[in-house]
Amino acid sequence: MRRRTRTRMDVCSFFIARLCALLLACLPIVAGATELRIGVLAWFGDQTAATQWQTLGAALQAHLPHTTVLMSYHDMNGLEKSFAAGQLDFIITNPGHYVVLEARHRATRIATQKIEPGRDSEHVVGSAVIVPNERTDLRTLDDLRGKRIAATVPDGFSGWMTVWAELKRRDIDPERKEVTPLFAGLPMSRVIETLDRGEADAGILRVCLLEHLVRQGRLPAGRYRVLSPQEPDAPCLRSTPAYPGWAFAAAAQTPDALARATLVALLSLDGRDSVLRWGVPADYHPVHEMLRELQVAPYEFLREHSLGAHILQYWPIGAGLLAFLMLWLLYTLRVDALVQRRTRELSAALAAREELEENMQTQCQKMEHMSRLSVLGQLSGTLAHELNQPLATIGNYARSLTRRLWSGNLSEEAIGQAAHEIAEQAERAAGILDGIRDFARKRPSRREDCDAPKLVGEVVALFRGMLVHAPEIRIEDKLRNEKHSIHVDRLQIQQVVLNLLKNAYDAQVEIDRAGQPIDIVLEPEDDRMRITVRDHGPGLPDADREHLFEPFFTTKPDGMGLGLSICKSIIEAHAGQLVATQPDDGAGLRLSFTLPFAATARHDAT
Ligand code: ADP
């Protein structure tokens, strides 16, 4: 069966050769062509490649007498550059590289190299993974997990890529360090040297090289064996699938006629040398598949889109972003902590301020109270004497009644008159005491509507009741009947008026004018009421008047200097003003203050 197939193929080759010779003779267009530029991939440098491929150049030249065949040799990059630059009509390169140039520069294969006469060109390239025979632990390719494997170069097709793909299919990925490739370089014999030195567990050779070296006696038979042979009975053992051979490809701009003539020449070549054996173009689809699996050129874009590739490519940006995020997070946390701390501090400060204000209010109330007591204290020097008067009168009436009773001339009329007098004097004493008790009482501030003339009258009564020789106090009421009411803390305003009266009296006593009358005037002023206390004392120099309302300003030996400053704060708390002026009509001093009428005060409060 096999022999019959081969015979049939030989017959086909014979007819193809004859046909080509005929076509060659009939192609006048080639006669016009001058140059045929062929670029060849040179693994071992120009010299070696030239020696290897010169036979082909000469054979083509012989078949194309009217054309100058120019062979040039390049490494992978050089060949691609020259091809892309349009400097070559044809290229000869390995299957992997051809697929790359096909994808990138539209290279079109016109023939595929055959290794042996009669064998197809589809299955000629492959690799054998060899291991020292004594390594009984290594039976199949799967046993290579975690081992070191000697290869030629990273972009070698049969020197590395074919085995890489095979290992990957078995889920052994060199890129995940599941096997360690050791690249020994070219020529391929270096792989065997690495194995001989024991530096690697396995090595990769192109198919048939092991058998060739053994045949030549350069390697003892049985020293190395092939792992996982795909066709155990074949004369050459392979560990990988077989791929198409080297490609002879035309550039996109190569004229069809030239390509045809070259193809015909190639197919008609024959000889022992493998560089002269070319067949119809093979299907390079398996090579495409393999390179796609490996995600290498021309399929490197697949790798670039994988997550891992993105991470590898963009990790500095990612790290920067992460660092920025961390810093931002730290900054936010710090700001948050600061805000919370400041809020706490602010709350504490507000609480402290509220407490302070409360304390101040309490202290103010205490001071007002003290001030009232102080005024009373100063005025009450004569209080006992003042109270003595009604008490003495009561006593006199009581003794007179007793005497008349004993003498027997006690008339009903006398009893009635005496009882009436006693009751009046008792009421007068009680009135004085009530006023003092009321005035000295300690109680929280409270505002109410008060009749101003009445309030002033009560203070005058209190003041006069406390002095033995009280001066005359004249009250002039200029208010209209309907506007008498003020909305105030009655006791506080009484305190102010009493303080002004006491100061007025003191001033007059100072220049022996204690008997001079003191004037009080109540009058309207816009929407306010003005109350003025005017005395006939020595008055006050301008310099002193500037400090009149300052706390602790006093000219009296026993004075505290607090009375007027407290009066000023009381009046201002009632939205009024306290001022001191010199009277236009003579000596003395006018102290006057304003207060809003009751209706205005209530309107302002709402
Ligand atoms: P004190 O009466 O304890 O001195 P005041 O604050 O009531 O405190 O008065 C402060 C000072 O203002 C007095 O010492 C006095 O010198 C002056 N003064 C107050 N009223 C008058 C007035 N009617 N005439 C002159 N001087 C006055």
Contact assessment for residue 304 and residue 135, using Cβ atoms and an 8 Å cutoff = no
Nearest protein Cα to ligand 1, atom 3: 559
| pLDDT exceeds 80 at position 142 | yes
Domain boundary among 209, 242, 275: 242
pLDDT 10s digits, 176-190: 999 999 999 988 889
Nearest protein Cα to ligand 1, atom 13: 554
Respond yes or no on whether the N-terminal peptide bond of residue 517 is cis (omega within 30° of 0): no
Contact assessment for residue 520 and residue 533, using Cβ atoms and an 8 Å cutoff = yes
Ligand 1 in contact with 561 (CB < 6 A)? yes
**Residue 450, beta-bridge partner list:** 486
Residue 388 within any structural domain of the chain? no
Domain harbouring 492, CATH code: 3.30.565.10
Rounded Cα distance, 589 and 544, in Å: 12
| 192/223 same-domain check | yes
Residue 139 within any structural domain of the chain? yes
Nearest protein Cα to ligand 1, atom 19: 503
| 65/214 same-domain check | no
| 62/192 same-domain check | no
| 105/211 same-domain check | no
Q: What is the pLDDT of residue 442?
A: 67
Burial 265-300, CB ≥16 within 10 A → b, else e: bbbbbeeeebbbbbbebbebebbbebbeebbbbebe
| pLDDT exceeds 60 at position 521 | yes
Average pLDDT of 541-570? 88
| 266/278 same-domain check | yes
Ligand 1 atom closest to residue 556's alpha carbon, by position in its atom list: 14
Domain harbouring 162, CATH code: 3.40.190.10
What's the pLDDT band for 11 if we cut at 50, 70, 90?
Answer: very low
| 140/79 same-domain check | no
Rounded Cα distance, 91 and 120, in Å: 21
Ligand 1 in contact with 537 (CB < 6 A)? yes
SS3 category, 587: coil
pTM of the prediction?
0.48
Ligand 1 in contact with 259 (CB < 6 A)? no
Mutate to test the pocket of ligand 1, among 555, 590, 591 (most ligand atoms within 8 A of CB): 555
| 251/131 same-domain check | no
Q: What is the DSSP string of 486-510?
A: EEE-HHHHHHHHHHHHHHHHHHHHH
Residue 494 within any structural domain of the chain? yes
| pLDDT exceeds 50 at position 24 | no
Ligand 1 atom closest to residue 503's alpha carbon, by position in its atom list: 20
| 462/563 same-domain check | yes
What's the pLDDT band for 9 if we cut at 50, 70, 90?
Answer: very low
136-139's contacts with Cβ under 8 Å and 24+ in sequence apart are 138/201, 138/202, 138/227, 139/227
Range of the domain at 78: 2-122+243-299
**Residue 37, beta-bridge partner list:** 70
Residue 468 within any structural domain of the chain? yes
| 199/281 same-domain check | no
Burial 2-27, CB ≥16 within 10 A → b, else e: eeeeeeeeeeebeeeeeebeebbeeb
Distances (CA, A) of 516 to 78, 456, 473, 533: 130, 19, 9, 13
| pLDDT exceeds 90 at position 414 | no
Contact assessment for residue 183 and residue 154, using Cβ atoms and an 8 Å cutoff = yes
SS3 category, 296: coil
- Distance (angstroms) between ligand 1 centre and the Cα of 503 equals 6
Residue 230 within any structural domain of the chain? yes
| 191/51 same-domain check | no
Residue 52 within any structural domain of the chain? yes
- Tell me the backbone φ, ψ of residue 221, rounded to 5 degrees: -65, 140
- Distance (angstroms) between ligand 1 centre and the Cα of 490 equals 23
Ligand 1 atom closest to residue 560's alpha carbon, by position in its atom list: 3
pLDDT 10s digits, 81-116: 999 999 999 999 999 999 999 999 999 999 999 877
Residue 175 within any structural domain of the chain? yes
- Distance (angstroms) between ligand 1 centre and the Cα of 152 equals 116
Per the listing, tokens 């042979």 go with: 229
User: What percentage of the chain exceeds 90 in pLDDT?
Assistant: 57
Ligand 1 in contact with 563 (CB < 6 A)? yes
Rounded Cα distance, 441 and 492, in Å: 11
Burial of 230 (0-12, 13-18, 19+ CB in 10 A): middle
Domain boundary among 278, 299, 320: 299
What's the pLDDT band for 321 if we cut at 50, 70, 90?
Answer: very high
Ligand 1 in contact with 555 (CB < 6 A)? yes
Q: What is the pLDDT of residue 566?
A: 85
Mutate to test the pocket of ligand 1, among 550, 564, 591 (most ligand atoms within 8 A of CB): 564
**Structurally, how many domains does the chain consist of?**
3
Q: What is the DSSP string of 525-574?
A: ETTEEEEEEE--S----HHHHHTTTSTT---STT--S-HHHHHHHHHHHT
What's the pLDDT band for 312 if we cut at 50, 70, 90?
Answer: confident
| pLDDT exceeds 70 at position 602 | no
| pLDDT exceeds 70 at position 12 | no
Mutate to test the pocket of ligand 1, among 554, 565, 567, 589 (most ligand atoms within 8 A of CB): 554
| 238/248 same-domain check | no
Respond yes or no on whether the N-terminal peptide bond of residue 181 is cis (omega within 30° of 0): no
Per the listing, tokens 């085995």 go with: 163
Rounded Cα distance, 539 and 183, in Å: 118
Q: What is the pLDDT of residue 271?
A: 78
Domain boundary among 226, 242, 258: 242
Residue 479 within any structural domain of the chain? yes
| 249/237 same-domain check | no
